Structure 1
Amino acid sequence: MKKLTAYLKEQKITEVECVICDMTGIARGKIAPVDKFIDEKGMRMPESVLLQTVTGDYVEDEPYDALLDKADIDFICVPDENAVFKLPWTIEATAQIIHDTYDKMGNPIELSPRNVLKKVLKLYEEKGWKPVVAPEMEFYLTRRNEDPDQPLIPPVGRSGRQESGRQSFSIDAANEYDLLFEDMYDWCDIQGLDIDTLIHEEGTAQMEINFSHGDALSLADQVFVFKRTLREAALKHNVCATFMAKPVPDEPDSAMHLHQSIVDTKTGKNIFSLNDGTKGPLFYSYIGGLQKYIPELFPSYCRYSPRM
């Protein structure tokens, strides 16, 4: 905690958002005064938060009882000193700190998405490999909508007109929301989010942000933080941003594309390629694994992709 405590004091942080990422990508946690956070060196939360749905409901009785203790005991949250983000949109100087989760015996909580990723990365490490990923985040901008039963409609841009047609890769259409995106880039820079290009996607007021290639755990954290950042920037400009898979009928879906490669940690070479740059057997094996196992993940994709 010495490194983290020094950072909080140096940045004159007064509040800390102690957060974990649940299965739906929602930030769950507690907000604490900085002195209380430093004294307690973490927090506790009930295990049940990891089985909440995107609407805040809980899963049915049978799977709930099979996965969690009926007593709804607490797990221990430990701050990750490498996952600290100063929030640029708050009135008070606030830091968001992503926490890892453990049971009282010190074992990682298996329902935690971050722990699942760490477990997978450990398997790569044992092989002497390191995954390299680059996410692409698609989203829609919409007018603010107080009635969830009414359809989402495109916002009015700086021209004073509402976007009405599909403008794939249009610079002018993206520039309609320049002030919003300037704040987004500035806020991402403050937080150290490694975002790259912005494009207008195919849908009406649908956009895409690309991240630079990098470490899988770091980028998972960055994507989690980016969603909050973009939504806050949108609200500042009186519009909304949604990452739902299908927020607007008769418009293209939104997705998160994930560019993937694997590097041999000893040689630094991509294991998918042969020395002459052609595809190697491990590349075809990887594709075969995706073809075999992705169908088993479809229920998870369908359950968790619709996220505001």
Structure 2
Amino acid sequence: MNHNAQAIQQWLDDHHITEVECLIPDMTGLARGKIVPRHKYNPAEGLRLPEAVLSMTVTGDYPEQDFTAVSDPDMRLIPDASTIRPVPWAKEPTAQIIHDCVNFDGSDADLAPRNVLKRILKLYEQQGLSAIVAPEMEFYLVEVQPDEDIPLRPPVGRTRRTEAGMQSFSIDAVNEYDDVFDVMYDWCEAQGLALDTLIHEMGTAQMEINLDHGDPLALADQVFLFKRTVREVAIRNNMYATFMAKPMQGQPGSAMHIHQSVVDADGRNIFSQADGSPSDAFLHFIGGLQTYLPAAMPFFAPYVNSYRRLSRFTSAPINLSWGYDNRTCGLRVPHSGPEARRVENRLAGVDVNPYLAMAASLACGYLGMQQRIAPSEPLSGSAYEQPHQLPRHLDDAIDTLLKCQPLAEIFGEHFIQTYGAIKEAEYREYFDVISPWERRFLLLHV
């Protein structure tokens, strides 16, 4: 038995586990996999799952074209011992383990989002570098409403009232939902999810959670598990937690801002020179983001709903301007000491697959450093006054991605074509739905 499998078996023994949830993140970022009784789980062997799971749309459908073998073969799921955690809400002692998707010849399955992020991180490793990220996740608590035709509403808090107006940074407004957040913190601590700050955001019952900075793969795993955890806590408190980018009309959207820096083998931040000033690598990283983010938008705004957030004067970016401590810009450089110099990518909605969003942002920055792309001048005014520089709709974004050869080379042509086809299938399915707005204003008026 290999060391990875031995470590897993020991952990399962120590925690008296009776069931194992074997998880993989799918293309949407949802947990897929199998639940296996402990006595039937062999971590040295892993288990099997159809490869086609990696080409599913958010509705559970598939693109018209086959991007996996027509024979519908299996792939192997190999557990990553570093990801083993308890399932705090389970009635019986249960473990959850994130697995890697592997072909039977031992190679990585190229459609697996976790492998895609590993692929990008390997590019940094080959240069003697490591990327560091810190995600910030916004989400809404909403009233339970099983009828999807009825607009969402904020939930009732401990005062038996819904929030009035917008309560940015209000402590009392957060305390309205203490029953949710007390359990959330306990469950996250049990799973080793490194929560940093909880704040009330601009929207009604909109919250933001920041995670401690660290290795991108570990942080993507934490975002993946955090979303699952918060949804579970909310349901047990008779409300929903939603990570839609724009769940309610007239309310701000929800983002997942990604803070990024790069360190060398000695742990030195390469975005700063010895005298503390910005380095060429820092500027080139920004230049790469400005150049390639438009083509990578399907990773940051993956659904039709995502683009409702990216509109002028909604506290969301509409272009690729960058500036020092300028929140109107798509790319913000927060105030910090030289050792913590970083770039905050504010484009991503919280509806993203965290593995793909982090991979895409780091890939764009990597291309900028490799190609030594100079950025624009930093902006000190409002970027909301600047022209749109990003795709306005999902179908435009898909077309732009499929035409970008540098991203195809970094992500792999097979992955890019598959991802594009998945998004096209989702867009077609959405386009078949007639909205209430169309019935209200067009039914009898045109």
Please state which band the TM-score falls in when normalised by the shorter chain.
over 0.9
Q: What one-letter code is carried by the residue in structure 2 that aligns with 1:14?
A: T
| TM-score, normalised with respect to structure 2 | 0.66
* Distance in 1 (alpha carbons) for counterparts of 2:138 and 2:43: 40
* Distance in 2 (alpha carbons) for counterparts of 1:221 and 1:288: 28
Query: Contact 2:299–2:352 (CA<8 Å) still a contact in 1?
Result: no
* Distance in 2 (alpha carbons) for counterparts of 1:118 and 1:26: 18
- Residue 165 of structure 1 deviates from its aligned partner by 1.1
- Residue 39 of structure 1 deviates from its aligned partner by 7.2
Instruction: Give the secondary-structure state (helix, strand or coil) at the position aligned to 2:48.
Output: strand
Equivalence for 1:294: 293
* Distance in 1 (alpha carbons) for counterparts of 2:289 and 2:142: 34
Query: Contact 2:24–2:31 (CA<8 Å) still a contact in 1?
Result: yes
* Distance in 2 (alpha carbons) for counterparts of 1:33 and 1:300: 35
* Distance in 1 (alpha carbons) for counterparts of 2:112 and 2:147: 32
- Residue 302 of structure 1 deviates from its aligned partner by 3.0
Identical counterparts, % of pairs? 55
Equivalence for 1:254: 254
The ranges of structure 1 where at least 4 consecutive aligned residues each deviate by more than 2 angstroms after the TM superposition are: 38-41, 299-308
Equivalence for 1:271: 270
Equivalence for 1:13: 17
Question: Could you give the per-residue CA deviations for residues 115-134 of structure 1, whole angstroms, max 9, x where no partner exists?
Answer: 00111111111111111111
Equivalence for 2:195: 195
* Distance in 2 (alpha carbons) for counterparts of 1:303 and 1:219: 20
Q: What one-letter code is carried by the residue in structure 2 that aligns with 1:153?
A: R
Equivalence for 1:95: 95
1:136-147 aligned within 5 A:
136-147=136-147
- 2:61 equivalent to 1:52: no
1:3-152 aligned within 5 A:
3-38=7-42, 41-59=45-63, 61-62=64-65, 65=66, 67-152=67-152
Specify the structure having the higher radius of gyration (Cα).
Answer: 2
Query: Contact 1:137–1:209 (CA<8 Å) still a contact in 2?
Result: yes
Q: What one-letter code is carried by the residue in structure 2 that aligns with 1:95?
A: A
- Residue 301 of structure 1 deviates from its aligned partner by 3.0
* Distance in 2 (alpha carbons) for counterparts of 1:146 and 1:154: 14
Q: CA RMSD in A?
A: 1.4
Equivalence for 1:283: 282
- 2:218 equivalent to 1:218: yes
Query: Contact 1:145–1:152 (CA<8 Å) still a contact in 2?
Result: yes
| TM-score, normalised with respect to structure 1 | 0.95
- Residue 38 of structure 1 deviates from its aligned partner by 2.6
Q: What one-letter code is carried by the residue in structure 2 that aligns with 1:258?
A: I
* Distance in 1 (alpha carbons) for counterparts of 2:300 and 2:232: 25
Structure whose residues are more often strand by fraction: 1
* Distance in 1 (alpha carbons) for counterparts of 2:148 and 2:62: 20
Query: Contact 2:138–2:256 (CA<8 Å) still a contact in 1?
Result: yes
Equivalence for 2:313: none
Query: Contact 1:45–1:74 (CA<8 Å) still a contact in 2?
Result: yes
Q: 1:57 to 1:5 in 2, by over 3 A?
A: same
* Distance in 2 (alpha carbons) for counterparts of 1:223 and 1:85: 14
* Distance in 2 (alpha carbons) for counterparts of 1:228 and 1:107: 29
Listed as ranges, the gaps of 5+ residues in structure 1 are none
1:144-223 aligned within 5 A:
144-223=144-223
* Distance in 2 (alpha carbons) for counterparts of 1:101 and 1:173: 42
Equivalence for 1:233: 233
Query: Contact 2:9–2:43 (CA<8 Å) still a contact in 1?
Result: no
* Distance in 1 (alpha carbons) for counterparts of 2:135 and 2:299: 19
- Residue 57 of structure 1 deviates from its aligned partner by 1.8
Listed as ranges, the gaps of 5+ residues in structure 2 are 304-348, 354-446
Query: Contact 2:134–2:259 (CA<8 Å) still a contact in 1?
Result: yes
Instruction: Give the secondary-structure state (helix, strand or coil) at the position aligned to 2:42.
Output: helix
* Distance in 1 (alpha carbons) for counterparts of 2:34 and 2:55: 17
Q: What one-letter code is carried by the residue in structure 2 that aligns with 1:286?
A: F
Query: Contact 1:244–1:307 (CA<8 Å) still a contact in 2?
Result: no
Count of aligned pairs between the two proteins: 303
Q: What one-letter code is carried by the residue in structure 2 that aligns with 1:292?
A: T
Query: Contact 1:159–1:176 (CA<8 Å) still a contact in 2?
Result: yes
Query: Contact 1:54–1:307 (CA<8 Å) still a contact in 2?
Result: no
